[in-house]
């Protein structure tokens, strides 16, 4: 380990120690734990990894609205609040002096009860379980509810994941083909920015959902595209690389076509993998035809989105 890496590990350790000393004296904080790279052995933290702490508080809104308590942990320089990657909660993200990056996900203490009754089919099970099963470190557990909950979730997470339903797959695929036509219309109108935004935003999220369904194996997937080079087949990562575009209409259209081809291939693969009886093939046929027709039309005579001269 380099001197820089060693210093970062020691400094994050001091941040954790200071947080525990402060939080232990706060009755409103019932439990806390470290998750993410600084709590796992598979893809463990390096010098540039952040620190993820989940805080179970009786009044999470107070910690989220007020940042004065951060001075008990370190010297905050930049901080703001955003939605958590898992669940419908919020987290306070902080850059402390020294470029120490800490995310405090502040969740209701009542969640501890929900975790103790969570079943494998619950909506949050897959997301929470995928995080917990890779490693966690309990910092505070006043009533031992957190420890028992985590053991239960870890056991559930080790079960085979439930396959996606026909309805969810159909909705995802139809959503994708609908927006392929939408992108073509925006490009023809001259709204290349909003078209490109949809391609690299909405459409790519749907594509990633299909890739995860295709590649899903117990214990191999990570959230989003993390470490995708490891768990996704090489054919997918190579084809995925062709779906990014420079910001010109023809390049956006070319990337759209590549993405359409990849989704069509994934659809067939998923149908075979999950033994599905029907797939929305008519949506693909219609969308492909309309994308070709729209993209070959001459530009409209009047447009409010003509590019500026120069």
Residue 160 contacts residue 131 (beta carbons within 8 Å)? no
Name the band, by pLDDT with cuts 50, 70 and 90, for residue 167.
confident
Is 123 strand, coil or helix? coil
The superfamily CATH assigns to domain 3-157 is: Beta Polymerase, domain 2 (3.30.460.10)
Of the chain, the percentage scoring pLDDT greater than 70 comes to 81
Of the chain, the percentage scoring pLDDT greater than 90 comes to 50
Residue 211 contacts residue 205 (beta carbons within 8 Å)? no
What confidence tens digit (pLDDT) does each residue in 23-60 have?
999 999 999 999 988 887 777 777 788 999 999 999 99
Rounded to an integer, what is the distance from CA 166 to the centroid of its chain?
Answer: 23
For 130, which DSSP code?
Answer: H
For 166-295, which CATH class?
mainly alpha
Whole-number average pLDDT of the chain: 84
Q: Which of 136-145, 156-165, 179-188 has the highest mean pLDDT?
A: 179-188
C-alpha distance from residue 4 to each of 9, 59, 93, 214 (Å): 9, 37, 23, 39
Name the band, by pLDDT with cuts 50, 70 and 90, for residue 2.
very low
C-alpha distance from residue 24 to each of 47, 63, 141 (Å): 28, 15, 9
Nearest-5° angle of CA 130, CA 35, CA 115?
60
Per-residue pLDDT at 305 exceeds 80 = no
75-95 average pLDDT score? 93
Residue ranges matching CATH 3.30.460.10 in the chain: 3-157
C-alpha count within 13 angstroms, C-beta hemisphere, residue 172: 22
Residue ranges matching CATH 1.20.120.330 in the chain: 166-295
Rounded to an integer, what is the distance from CA 310 to the centroid of its chain?
Answer: 39
* 102 strand-pairing partners: 51, 94
Tell me how many helices (H) and strands (E) the chain has. Answer: 12, 6
Q: Does residue 153 or residue 288 have the better pLDDT?
A: 288
What confidence tens digit (pLDDT) does each residue in 202-248 have?
999 999 888 888 876 434 545 566 667 776 788 888 888 899 989 99
Per-residue pLDDT at 275 exceeds 80 = no
């Amino acid at each position: 380990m380099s001197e820089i890496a060693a210093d970062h590990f020691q400094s994050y350790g001091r941040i954790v120690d200071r947080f525990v000393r402060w939080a232990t004296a706060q009755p409103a904080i019932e439990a806390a734990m470290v998750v993410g790279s600084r709590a796992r052995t598979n893809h463990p933290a390096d010098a540039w990894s952040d620190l993820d702490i989940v805080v179970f508080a009786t009044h999470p809104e107070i910690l989220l609205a007020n940042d004065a308590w951060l001075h008990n942990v370190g010297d905050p320089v930049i901080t703001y609040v955003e939605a958590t990657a898992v669940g419908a909660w919020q987290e306070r993200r902080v850059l402390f002096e020294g470029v120490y990056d800490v995310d405090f996900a502040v969740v209701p203490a009542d969640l501890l009860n929900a975790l103790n009754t969570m079943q494998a089919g619950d909506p949050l099970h897959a997301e929470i379980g995928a995080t917990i099963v890779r490693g966690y470190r309990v910092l505070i557990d006043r009533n031992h509810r957190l420890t028992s909950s985590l053991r239960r979730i870890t056991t559930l997470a080790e079960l085979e994941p439930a396959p996606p339903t026909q309805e969810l797959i159909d909705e995802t695929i139809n959503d994708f083909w609908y927006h392929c036509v939408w992108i073509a219309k925006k490009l023809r109108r001259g709204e290349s920015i909003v078209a490109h935004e949809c391609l690299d935003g909405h459409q790519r999220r749907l594509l990633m959902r299909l890739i995860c369904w295709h590649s899903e194996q117990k214990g191999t997937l990570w959230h989003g595209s993390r470490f995708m080079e490891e768990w996704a087949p090489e054919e997918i990562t190579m084809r995925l690389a062709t779906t990014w575009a420079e910001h010109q209409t023809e390049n956006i259209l070319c990337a759209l076509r590549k993405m359409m081809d990849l989704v069509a291939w994934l659809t067939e693969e998923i149908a075979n993998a999950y033994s599905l009886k029907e797939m929305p093939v008519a949506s693909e046929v219609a969308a492909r035809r309309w994308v070709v027709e729209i993209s070959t039309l001459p530009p409209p005579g009047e447009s409010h989105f003509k590019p500026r001269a120069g």
